[in-house]
Amino acid sequence: MAKAKTRYVCNSCGDDFPQMYGKCPGCASWGTLQEEIIPTTNTNAIATFANLGTGKSSGKNSSKNIPRESLTLSQITDNQQARSPSGYEELDRVLGGGIVAGSLVLIGGEPGIGKSTLLLGMAQKLMCRYPTLYVCAEESAQQVKLRSQRLGISEEDSESLYLLAETDLEVVLRELQSLRPKVAVIDSIQALYFANLNAAPGSVSQVRECTAALMRVAKRENISLFIVGHVTKEGAIAGPKVLEHMVDTVLYFEGDRFATHRLLRSVKNRFGATQEIGVFEMIDRGLREVSNPSELFLGNRDESVPGTATIVACEGTRPIVVELQALVSPTSYSSPRRTTTGIETNRFLQILAVLEKRIGIPLSKLDAYAASAGGLNVAEPAVDLGVAIAVAASFRDRTVDPRTVLIGEVGLGGQVRPVPQLDLRLKEAAKLGFKKAIVPNMQVMQDYGMEIVTVTKVLDAIVAALPRT
Ligand code: TYD
Ligand code: MG
């Protein structure tokens, strides 16, 4: 028998090589190459595979009499009903306005973050309108049933939710073709396998080929498919580039395991804007939608604590008002500690340097900590001014009026730079009852019923936020 040939496939970009490398020559990531056996029954596998999901037999096709299938653009009808609500407004928002018929959505996230809970919740809301198939390749049907009871799905309601506990791709494809549900969930793609492919489930080839076969069926039968993909330690779905190219929409479900809020973020969307976020809260009965996320990330407004500042971060087109806290205190180490939660450490260090050099706050002998409420990741430059003021307030042991928001990017020269979407941020702050906004020198389009203080330097912002009493 001929010796089985192997190849080395990158977990990250999906490229394959005849030899092992520590660093992938394709995408330059380290330690992502995995050994895989090249299928020996290539011809059979490819023939079977080519027919998977096409519903055709492998009989020879003569090139004559092949019907022409292409249409002119004007012949294609624009289907106004193509989008349907998922039942979760937050999910609809990240999808760009609802589920597009026949679209492929990849939902990535760390294990245990709540992907299965989200999709079972969605299936629960959808099933009363049309048949929905939930393929639980990771859990048994009983486990899913238990979860559904926890989510409060009643027996009568579950009539049109079909569960399939199966890991074999061919069975899943057959079921999709016979049931023809409007929406199907594959939980997860890493647990599915195509038996004719000589590679382990979860390997790049399996994930790629299974997705391709599912895509063919979904597009042909007009099924909207939600595919769950686990994120690896490096923060990428196995074979992410390959999968991200294939699917229409890529959503990431993220959050801190110790906090209850969860963010659903769109990183690719053929039918809508990217970087849009949906906010959920994990409670004991599944996921609850949070339509006003600012309330989740604001502390107690009546209590003012030294070192606290409020900012307005923008996630996609969604402004979120978040409370930031900073603490500076004399260090007992040879080099002072700088720690952040939810704020980018490098930007924090840069802001500390600006405060020291341009404002003259001596921070080099002080430990400095900064955190956003709930650990929400606020990585955009518009939060700089809030961080700077929180540090200055902590240093002076003073409080910023809790009804003031700070918006602005801090430059290395100590200047306050303009930020995108200023009006959107101000509108959100006004809606929440903030009375004063310290902002970069930019034109504000509307009167929001707030005092607007424009500043060009960090020092001016400090004077405005921490007036001497
Ligand atoms: P799960 O959806 O299984 O995560 P994933 O599919 O992303 O791996 O979520 C599991 C976590 O969610 C688990 O830690 C328990 C928690 N959870 C709740 O807090 N409330 C609930 O109602 C449910 C169903 C789960
Ligand atoms: Mg799961």
Containing structural domain, residue 37: 6-41
List the single range of 16-30, 131-145, 233-247 with lowest mean pLDDT: 233-247
Does 310 share its domain with 268? no
Query: Mapped to the 3 state alphabet, what secondary structure does 42-68 carry?
Result: HHHHHHHHHHCCCCCCCCCCCCCCCCC
Number of domains in the chain: 3
Question: Does pLDDT of 257 surpass 80?
Answer: no
Give the best-scoring range by mean pLDDT among 227-236, 245-254, 348-357, 425-434: 348-357
Does 169 share its domain with 239? yes
124 in contact with ligand 1, CB cutoff 6 A:
no
pLDDT band at 46 (very low <50, low <70, confident <90, very high): very low
CATH code: domain of residue 366: 3.30.230.10
Does 285 share its domain with 300? no
What is the per-residue pLDDT across 94-129, written as a single tens digit (0 to 9) for each? 998 899 988 999 998 888 889 999 999 998 888 777
Question: Does pLDDT of 391 surpass 60?
Answer: yes
Q: What's the DSSP call for residue 82?
A: G
Q: Where does a domain end: 291, 311, 345? A: 291
Q: Is residue 47 part of a domain?
A: no
Q: Where does a domain end: 291, 316, 336? A: 291
Question: Does pLDDT of 43 surpass 50?
Answer: no
Of the bound ligands, which one is closest to the alpha carbon of residue 118?
A: 1
Among 289, 352, 291, 299, CA closest to 322: 299
Question: What pLDDT is recorded for position 188?
Answer: 85
Give the burial class of 179: count Cβ atoms within 10 A of its Cβ; 0-12 exposed, 13-18 middle, 19 or more buried. Answer: middle
Does 143 share its domain with 220? yes
Contact between 464 and 401 (Cβ < 8 Å): no
121 in contact with ligand 1, CB cutoff 6 A:
no
Pocket test for ligand 1, best of 135, 187, 280, 282 (most atoms within 8 A of CB): 282
Q: What's the DSSP call for residue 324?
A: E
Question: What pLDDT is recorded for position 58?
Answer: 47
Q: Interhelix angle for 384-396 vs 345-354, to 10°?
A: 60
Question: Does pLDDT of 3 surpass 70?
Answer: no
Among 257, 242, 166, CA closest to 211: 242
Q: Is residue 66 part of a domain?
A: no
Question: What pLDDT is recorded for position 273?
Answer: 81
First to last CA, the chain: 89
Question: Does pLDDT of 239 surpass 80?
Answer: no
Q: What's the DSSP call for residue 401?
A: -
Q: Cα dist. 30→12, 16, 62, 195, 458 in Å?
A: 10, 14, 48, 30, 41
List the single range of 119-123, 136-140, 300-304, 358-362 with lowest mean pLDDT: 300-304
Distance between CA atoms of residues 199 and 203, nearest Å: 7
Q: Is residue 78 part of a domain?
A: no
- pTM summary value: 0.77
Question: Does pLDDT of 402 surpass 60?
Answer: yes
List the single range of 54-58, 115-119, 264-268, 334-338 with lowest mean pLDDT: 54-58
Does 428 share its domain with 284? no
Using CA of residue 237, residue 242, residue 246, residue 248, what is the dihedral sign?
positive
Question: What pLDDT is recorded for position 159?
Answer: 72
Question: What pLDDT is recorded for position 52?
Answer: 57
ipTM above 0.90, yes or no: yes
Element holding 207 (H helix, E strand): helix 204-221
What is the per-residue pLDDT across 280-322, written as a single tens digit (0 to 9) for each? 999 888 899 988 888 777 766 667 789 999 999 988 778 899 9
Assign 3-state DSSP to the chain and report helix, strand, coil percentages, each to 5. Answer: 30, 25, 40
Give the number of other CB atoms < 10 A from CB of residue 101: 16
> In the predicted model, what is the mean pLDDT of residues 231-251?
73
What is the per-residue pLDDT across 181-227, written as a single tens digit (0 to 9) for each? 999 999 989 899 898 887 788 888 888 889 999 999 999 989 999 99
Q: Where does a domain end: 291, 312, 346? A: 291
Question: What pLDDT is recorded for position 432?
Answer: 86
- Per the listing, tokens 């809790």 go with 402
Provide the Cα torsion 258, 275, 286, 188; round to 10°: -100
Question: What pLDDT is recorded for position 238?
Answer: 59
Phi-psi label, residue 462: left if phi above 0, alpha if psi -120 to 50, beta otherwise: alpha
181 in contact with ligand 1, CB cutoff 6 A:
no
Contact between 124 and 151 (Cβ < 8 Å): yes
> In the predicted model, what is the mean pLDDT of residues 240-252?
83
116 is in an annotated binding site: yes
Q: Percent of the chain beyond pLDDT 70? A: 88
112 in contact with ligand 1, CB cutoff 6 A:
yes
Pairing of strands 366-372, 338-341: parallel
Give the closest residue (by CA) to ligand 1 atom 10: 112
Ligand 1 atom with the shortest distance to the CA of 110: 7
CATH code: domain of residue 121: 3.40.50.300
Give the chain's mean pLDDT. 85
pLDDT band at 54 (very low <50, low <70, confident <90, very high): low
List the single range of 360-364, 374-378, 398-402, 415-419 with lowest mean pLDDT: 374-378
Question: Does pLDDT of 426 surpass 90?
Answer: yes
- For residue 281, list its beta bridge partners: 261, 288
Question: What pLDDT is recorded for position 254?
Answer: 85
Contact between 241 and 13 (Cβ < 8 Å): yes
Distance between CA atoms of residues 121 and 264, nearest Å: 14
Q: Cα dist. 385→309, 340, 405, 440 in Å?
A: 9, 16, 10, 9
Does 146 share its domain with 269? yes
Question: What pLDDT is recorded for position 390?
Answer: 96
Return the ∠ at Cα 312 (arms to 307 and 318), rounded to 5°: 150
